[in-house]
Structure 1
């Protein structure tokens, strides 16, 4: 599994499911990532990620909402070219979104399909 390059997760998992993706450092494509069933901290190990699609909730535990620049980077991949975020059932905290986007340096395509009440 450590050599896996493309992973398409199911669009829905049972609430009890927690996937451990931290050892997938060679992953280039990750589709249907969400924080209900996956750990955000595992994204930092995916240094070869090119395409990331987040579908569903995106919440960051232990997120410093007072000093956004004090949060560790979420994504360390310098290869990330495409980031898509889809969430139809609720809102994403704009501070979490800023935390995610600020750790992306070189992406070419950004697709946001979420409700954001106000930008930080």
Structure 2
């Protein structure tokens, strides 16, 4: 998504082109873009002139949107270490201080103003 935002291109961009430019496997990218498309962040078009493009302005897409689209909301609602019993009440299994889990507290909800793509990235050298 950072690559596409840096391109500042209005049409579809081939997943193969993205993979070649970023040295990422096309099957892996296809799966990621499929999730982003299902979440309404991207649009895709099959065929020789197909590819992917933003479904809405990149300025409207937050890092939180991308994380939830790819990994789901569990990072923000469940124990990030996968430990049972990690909740709001102390003591948390991942702490020895008897306090609630600092990791969970920090990730239980997104910060109010997560950066959007153009503000969060600098134009890479390959663009």
TM-score, normalised to structure 2's length? 0.21
Structure with the bigger RCO (C-alpha within 8 Å, sep 6+) is 2
**Greater Rg, structure 1 or structure 2?**
2
Give the number of the structure whose residues are more often strand, by fraction.
1
Give the number of the structure whose residues are more often helix, by fraction.
2
TM-score, normalised to structure 1's length? 0.21
